[in-house]
Chains A and B, each alone.
Chain A
Amino acid sequence: MSVAAVDAEGLVKRFGKETALGGLSFSVEPGEIFGFIGPDGAGKTTLFRILTTLLLADEGSARVLDLDVADDFWALRARVGYMPGRFSLYPDLSVGENLSFFAAVFGTSPSKQEDLIGPIYSQIEPFRDRRAGALSGGMKQKLALSCALVHRPEILFLDEPTTGVDAVSRREFWDLLDRLREQGLTIVVSTPYMDEASRCDRVALIQDGRLLGVDAPGAFGARYGHPLVAVRGPDRRHLPEILRSWEHALSAYPFGETVHVTDRRPNLDPARVAEQVHDYLASRGIESAEVRPIEPGIEDVFIARMGEAAGTSSGASAGAAS
């Protein structure tokens, strides 16, 4: 059994009165893509800065590659790659100069790392003489990733690499990460996009500095604990409101073209719930709705656990109470 790539125990970080991290414990296995999924302000960046030795925790401890992030930070820095959420390369240096600079800092050169960074860097190499500050968002992202990899780190921390990126470019970025993982790299990545959970081996759901759960993305659904149905019907604007007034509805939220309704009664046959929802809608004059039992996705789980964490799970009020 190998040592965990990351092992965190009770990490707490406060900024004045604000508690950014409220005691986080988790571990990341070598060679996995581990995702922290949560909205802005959840504590993701603070956590990443602690794990990359840039910030000290107030309480708790963390080991990365079996080195203590506080005591062994000097040894650790050479073995960790970090891509911050905000673009932080030198905007006045060219693409090629940025890469050479970061390579030189770590005593290597881009050409020696061709096999690792080549597939990514080749996409921006045609612009190697352009100032980094003048690149498009997608190209900046690829340059930043190349620079984070140029010293051949054993573990890569990517803080919101896909924020503000369109859906297609996000897919392509995750394809890149798949290829890096195949080369044995451990990848810890954060994102506010719930749909990216499926691209991770395991995910931690994070909100208000606390973990709402850690598991394989496909494993959360089994512990949802309530029947869930998807409703497709007319008058989509008002359908969630109508469904929330159903006596057994724990919550009703729009999901794309459907509304997901969670039944507050546990252990009920979802097919029966679907029939009851259908009947309820018919009683409200909506005859043509289509109702189907579904498996909960990460976003269903996140919403449910946010509600529990806020001490309520009554649909619309849950978010306001956070």
Chain B
Amino acid sequence: MSAGAQSRPGPAPHGPPARSGSGDGAAIEADGLTRRFGDFTAVDAISFRVERGEVFGFLGANGAGKTTAIRMLTGLLSPSAGDARVAGHDVYDEPEAIRRSIGYMSQRFSLYEDLRVRENIQLFGGIYGLPDRTIRERGDRLLTDLGLEHAAEELVASIPLGWRQKLAFSVATLHEPEILFLDEPTGGVDPITRRQFWEMIYRAADEGTTVFVTTHYMDEAEYCDRISIMVDGRIGAMGTPRQLREQYGVPSVDELFLRLVRPGSDARHPAAGPLDAGGMGGAA
């Protein structure tokens, strides 16, 4: 343990055990990571590195292998070949250590709707192994930050969806994980909450948390420090959004996505095409 060298800004009176343990390497390092199901290769020897504190967008078409890759990186599925280290831990030998070092949130499952807001905080705090006092303190701070003090005793099912997603994000960071995996965290969320959500992501990244995020909103791809686009189990492109736009000579990540996923098709609706959402990067 090198807690001193890795300590982060901000008060952490009880010490952030998950954040301190893993030296100076990359947050995520994958080398030839592969997963086969029978004859089908879902993830085909992907290699990439995500730096600490980076917001990394993991894009791809449905069925391109994103979910399989995430399951391997979160220690839920063993790779068929290749290597990966997450928060300094090996995906084959230390899946438990990985799970303690990460936070995970998806659109589909995040919180127990039949439990109250505070009960969810207590439950997840307990699962993460935090002491009661820490759970109480961080839970109170979390509710204050979200302006949700008045809703602490409400059932999660009864609070508005936008809040639920923000609450889910905060609960996923309760144990101050080194890396946050967010799987379509903003699906179906209103446009204001979606943006507030990204400000939460940025705040976490500013504090040193690494964020690994998937999304179908191409404007959100532009909010990432770097993105990769998976095509048929491989990484078709990787870089900063700006680098990629310049390298491929496209006005937007949306355009690049179309070109990689459907080679040979041209943009049939260049002006009206999804994600002209008013940005300045238009074809004009």
Contacts and interface: CB of A to CB of B under 8 A. Distances in A.
Interface of A: 38-42, 136-138, 163-171, 175, 192-196, 198-199, 207, 230, 232, 236-237, 240, 253-258, 260, 290, 292, 294-300, 302-303, 306-307, 316, 318-320, 322
A202 B206 CA distance: 42
A300 B278 contact: yes
B188 A256 contact: no
Interface stretch (B25-33, B112-120, B255-263): B255-263
B222 interface: yes
B187 A303 contact: no
Interface in B136-178: 147, 160-163
Nearest to B163: A320
18 contacts: A39-B189, A137-B63, A166-B61, A167-B216, A168-B61, A168-B262, A170-B274, A171-B269, A193-B274, A195-B277, A199-B272, A230-B279, A232-B280, A240-B199, A299-B191, A306-B190, A307-B192, A322-B190
Interface of B: 60-63, 107, 147, 160-163, 184, 187-193, 195-196, 198-199, 202, 205-206, 216-219, 222-223, 241-242, 252-254, 257-258, 261-262, 268-269, 272-281
A319 B216 contact: no
Contacts of B190: 38-39, 42, 207, 302, 306, 319, 322
Given A41-B161, A319-B162, A295 B278 contact: yes
B280 A292 contact: yes
Contact of B162 (A39, A165, A294): A39
A166 B60 contact: yes
A159 to B, nearest CB: 12
B268 A175 contact: yes
B254 to A, nearest CB: 6
Given A168-B261, A258-B280, A300-B278, A319 B187 contact: no
Most chain A CB within 10 A, of B190, B196, B202, B269, is at B190
A254 to B, nearest CB: 6
A214 B160 CA distance: 24
B143 to A, nearest CB: 13
B191 A256 contact: no
Nearest to B189: A39
B204 to A, nearest CB: 11
Nearest to B273: A171
A195 B274 contact: yes
A179 to B, nearest CB: 12
Contacts of A236: 223
B191 A294 contact: no
> Top 5 closest A-B pairs, CB basis?
A297-B278, A319-B192, A40-B188, A39-B190, A256-B279
A192 B188 contact: yes
Nearest to A306: B192
A294 B63 CA distance: 36
Contacts of B216: 164-167, 170
B257 A303 contact: no
B164 to A, nearest CB: 9
Nearest to B197: A319
Contact of A306 (B191, B257, B272): B191
Contact of B272 (A163, A198, A240): A198
A260 B160 CA distance: 26
Nearest to B198: A254
Given A167-B216, A175-B268, A319-B193, 16 more contacts: A39-B189, A40-B189, A166-B61, A168-B262, A170-B274, A171-B268, A194-B277, A198-B274, A207-B190, A236-B223, A255-B278, A257-B279, A299-B191, A299-B278, A320-B162, A322-B160
Contact of A297 (B147, B258, B273, B276): B276
A41 B160 contact: yes
Contacts of B189: 39-40, 192
Nearest to A297: B278
Among A193, A207, A294, chain B packs the most CB atoms within 10 A around the CB of: A193
B278 A230 contact: yes
Contacts of A299: 191, 277-278
A167 B252 CA distance: 13
Contact of A237 (B61, B206, B272): B206
B96 to A, nearest CB: 30
Given A163-B187, A166-B261, A192-B188, A294 B280 contact: yes
A207 B161 CA distance: 12
A167 B274 contact: yes
A303 B219 CA distance: 15
A257 B223 CA distance: 7
Contacts of A258: 279-281
B274 A257 contact: no
A236 B222 CA distance: 10
Given A167-B275, A230-B278, A255-B277, A303 B60 contact: no
A88 to B, nearest CB: 18
Contacts of B206: 237
A237 B202 contact: yes
B222 A39 contact: no
Contacts of B276: 195, 198, 297
